[in-house]
Structure 1
Amino acid sequence: MIQTFYIETLDSPSRDSIHLFCLNLETRFEKEGMGDTIYNVVQELINNAVKANLKRSFFNANDYSFEDEHSYAAGLAAFKTSLRTISEEEWKKAVRDLGLRVTVEVDADEERILIYVENNAIMIPEEERRLRSHLARAMEVRNLVQFSEAYGDDTEGAGLGLALVIMLIKDMGFDPDYFRVFTRGDSTVARLEFPLKKDYVPIRKKWLDLKQGRPIADGEYD
């Protein structure tokens, strides 16, 4: 069963549809608490993807540069302020004009649940560097309090969100190493992989077995 959601901004209908679908997964697989937890994980990833698109729209409209360090810092500060002052409809129009959207695809069967959160804008090198740093930090800590105390000066708040994702995955009893972020074409994709059978073989291992130890290309199996 594959279900796909298309999202421009985080309006209530989008949230409600995804939440209901996650609750139905809990009922289907008879795993108490799974629905709300998966929803919270997906919601955090959607938040990050939507904000990335909104930031691109804002930078484009106000001539800020992602490549210039000073322009990026100034644009980021202005963008944070704009999130509190610009209406939902204005944001929708802005991202539509640039053709930006987030796609959530859920592929579930009796062996595993795969969730892809895809943003149709590729990460710039600085964004990817920060993301990898946030993920590495999140893997090191035991809880959000420890993460906040150690890395409370995070410039965009994305680090705390990724730490939350890692903690929630651990709380469900799944291996956070199955969580991947990669580029595919001109898109950025976050993949969640939740095994439901003890003998399940994860995507990365299947691919490594297929490659028989040859070097891994850039992309989905990073």
Structure 2
Amino acid sequence: MAKPFVELEAQIPDLVKAKSKIVVRSSRMNRQLEQYVLGLITNILSEVGQSQFVEMLYTISKELTINGIKANQKRVFFEDEGLDITDETDYFKGIKEYSKKFSEKMADEYGKRCLARGVYVQIKFHYCLDGLLVEVTNNTPVIKTEEVRMREKMKKSMGYNDIAEFYMDNMDNTEGAGLGIALIMILLKNEGVDPNLFRIITHADRTVARVEIPFNDNYVSFRSAELAEI
């Protein structure tokens, strides 16, 4: 039986002191999950003496989680409508219907449907005195059309230092996820963190969004380790 959030929140300080890796899993975003994630981030960064990153890391974690949950709910919506999300005709038909029908009430309902079907988002925090990694995984793959769009937004975001400027320049062709990607990269740049430490990794059965924050020059990023193996 799942523990209530009040009980889980009370355990956060001890959990953070005892572990260097913490994983949270959910099928929907609500105020309770937001508060729990904020509590985790606040305690983790306090533990490693980097509390100045709380607001940025919470914003990034929340944005990635919402994007992952929406992607999962969209896929379930397509299934329920009898549409093939990988078919171009069905995709554009489904996106139009999804945009027209979806609401906050439906988001809660589709969160329950995702849970029943084993569709979820997993948030992992891995941290030490040298740096921190937050990795958000949703256990559904991204389709090629949306992956291309995400890569374009990431590339375009490199040229901006202000989210309002990005929005004004791209307001005709930026959906929520695209704006979120730009926000993350601009936040990292403004905190002096290399935006290349934000990655989206696609697999046949899942999509992984990863952000790393070095605290000092001793931190060896996962990205550096991966490049060294090539």
TM-score tier (shorter) = 0.7 to 0.9
2:138 aligned with 1:119, yes or no? yes
Residue matched to 1:67: 86
SS at match of 1:140: coil
Instruction: Give the deviation of 1:124 after TM superposition.
Output: 1.2
Query: Is the 1:24–1:35 contact (alpha carbons within 8 Å) kept by the matching residues of 2?
Result: no
* Residue 208 (structure 2) aligned to one of 179, 185, 189: 189
Instruction: Give the deviation of 1:197 after TM superposition.
Output: 1.8
TM normalised by structure 2 equals 0.85
The structure-2 alpha-carbon separation of the partners of 1:146 and 1:85, relative to structure 1 and needing over 3 Å to count, comes to closer
2:68 aligned with 1:54, yes or no? no
Q: Out of 197-206 and 19-28, give the one that drifted further.
A: 197-206
SS at match of 2:216: coil
In the TM superposition, what whole-angstrom CA distance separates every residue of 1:164-217 from its partner, at most 9, and x where no partner exists?
111111222211111111024511001111111213232222233344xxxxxx
Residue matched to 1:215: none
Instruction: Give the deviation of 1:11 after TM superposition.
Output: 1.4
Instruction: Give the deviation of 1:27 after TM superposition.
Output: 1.5
Question: Could you list the runs of 5+ residues in structure 1 that have no partner in the other structure?
Answer: 212-222
Q: Aligned partner of 1:82: which letter?
A: K
Query: Is the 1:54–1:91 contact (alpha carbons within 8 Å) kept by the matching residues of 2?
Result: yes
SS at match of 2:158: helix
Residue matched to 1:146: 165
Aligned-partner Cα distance in 2 for 1:37–1:112: 14
TM normalised by structure 1 equals 0.87
SS at match of 1:191: strand
Query: Is the 1:138–1:159 contact (alpha carbons within 8 Å) kept by the matching residues of 2?
Result: no
Residue matched to 2:12: none
Residue matched to 1:180: 199
Aligned-partner Cα distance in 2 for 1:165–1:55: 22
Question: Could you list the runs of 5+ residues in structure 2 that have no partner in the other structure?
Answer: 1-19
Q: How does 1:1-222 map to 2 (within 5 A)?
A: 1-84=20-103, 86-154=105-173, 156-184=175-203, 186-211=205-230
Q: Aligned partner of 1:9: which letter?
A: R
Aligned-partner Cα distance in 1 for 2:196–2:149: 18
Instruction: Give the deviation of 1:95 after TM superposition.
Output: 0.9
Q: Aligned partner of 1:31: which letter?
A: Q
Q: Aligned partner of 1:164: which letter?
A: L
Query: Is the 2:48–2:128 contact (alpha carbons within 8 Å) kept by the matching residues of 1?
Result: no
Aligned-partner Cα distance in 1 for 2:55–2:75: 30
SS at match of 1:33: helix
Fraction of identical pairs, as percent:
28
